[in-house]
Amino acid sequence: MDIAIVLVIVLVIVLVWRGPKTLPALGKAFGQGVKEARKEIDGIKSDAEAPDDTTPTTPTTPTTPTPPTPPTTPTTPTTPS
């Protein structure tokens, strides 16, 4: 079925069920709902496209600690006897 025909049938049923006086209020509520839904979808899209603040902008190389050097003891030259 064509979507336009389905839409017309639904509108006629709503008109008969709710009456002609309440249609503007229903249309306004529907429009506000669609507007809020679009705003939320745009917010989700912009959040997904925005870079995370936790990721560094420049890659850093990890620094490894240098092992401590053992203390040197003075050696005395030995003379052959």
**pLDDT confidence of 32, banded at 50, 70, 90?**
very high
Per residue in 6-30, pLDDT (tens digit) is: 988 988 898 888 888 888 888 899 8
User: What's this model's pTM, rounded to 2 decimal places?
Assistant: 0.43
Per residue in 34-50, pLDDT (tens digit) is: 999 999 999 888 877 77
pLDDT at 55 over 60: no
pLDDT at residue 71, as a whole number: 74
Give the 3-state DSSP-derived string for the chain, with helices as H, strands as E and coil as C: CCHHHHHHHHHHHHHHHHCCCCHHHHHHHHHHHHHHHHHHHHHHHHHHHCCCCCCCCCCCCCCCCCCCCCCCCCCCCCCCC
